[in-house]
Amino acid sequence: MEYQKREVLPKPLVLRLIPYWGLVLVWMVLISLLSTEPFSAENTSRYIDPLLRYLFPHITAAEFVFWHTVIRKSAHFAEFFILGNLAYWALRRGRSPGWRVSWMLQALGLAVLYSLADEAHQAFVPNRTASLFDSGIDSLGAAVSQTLIYLRHVLLARLASLR
C-alpha cells in the first residue's frame, strides 16, 4: 500500500494567537473580578485582619491600617506586573530576538490602559472608588516587569557573548 504525504498547512493566525492572548484575557478577567465589591477594602479586612492579628498579636489599629493598605497596594502591583509579563510573552510568541522595544512599549501600553479602564470600572462598583494613585501603582508593576524582561535579555546577551 502506498502512502501519500499530505501537505501540512500552517494554522491560521487566530489559532496561533489563542494560546498566548487567551491567557492574557483570562488574567484581565481575573483583574476585573478582583475589582468588584467582594474585594473592597471593607471586605478584604475580614480576611486580612485575622491573619495580621494572628501573626502580630500586639498590632495597633494604626499599624493594622498601614499593613492592610500595603497588602492591598502590593496586590495592585503584582496583578499588573503579571499582566505586563503575559502581554510581552503574547506579543513575542516565541519569536527571536528575545526582546524588542516595540514589544515592551505595546505590553506597557496595554497594561497602563487596562489599569485606567479598571479604575474607571471601580467608580461604578459599590464600596469601591476609582483612584489614579492605584492606576499609578498598577502601571509601576507593569513597568517593573518590562524592566526585568529587558535586564534579563541584556544579561543573557552578555553571557552568550562570553562563550
85: amino acid identity, one letter: N
* Residue 94 banded pLDDT, cuts 50, 70, 90: confident
pTM for this one? 0.87
**Cα–Cα distance list, 126 to 2, 7, 38, 39, 159 (Å):** 69, 57, 9, 11, 52
pLDDT reading at 113 higher than 90: yes
pLDDT in tens, 63-89: 999 999 999 999 999 999 999 999 999
**Residue in 116, 109, 63, 107 with CA at minimum distance from that of residue 86:** 107
pLDDT reading at 132 higher than 90: yes
pLDDT in tens, 3-21: 777 777 777 877 878 889 9
Alpha-carbon dihedral sign for residues 87, 85, 29, 113: negative
Q: How far apart are CA 30 and CA 55, in angstroms?
A: 28
Q: How far apart are CA 140 and CA 137, in angstroms?
A: 5
pLDDT reading at 31 higher than 90: yes
Q: Is 34 exposed, middle or buried (0-12, 13-18, 19+ CB in 10 A)?
A: middle
DSSP state of 95: -
Percent of the chain at pLDDT exceeding 90: 65
What mean pLDDT do residues 99-114 have?
96
Q: What is the pLDDT of residue 1?
A: 61
DSSP state of 130: -
DSSP state of 6: P
Q: What is the pLDDT of residue 46?
A: 86
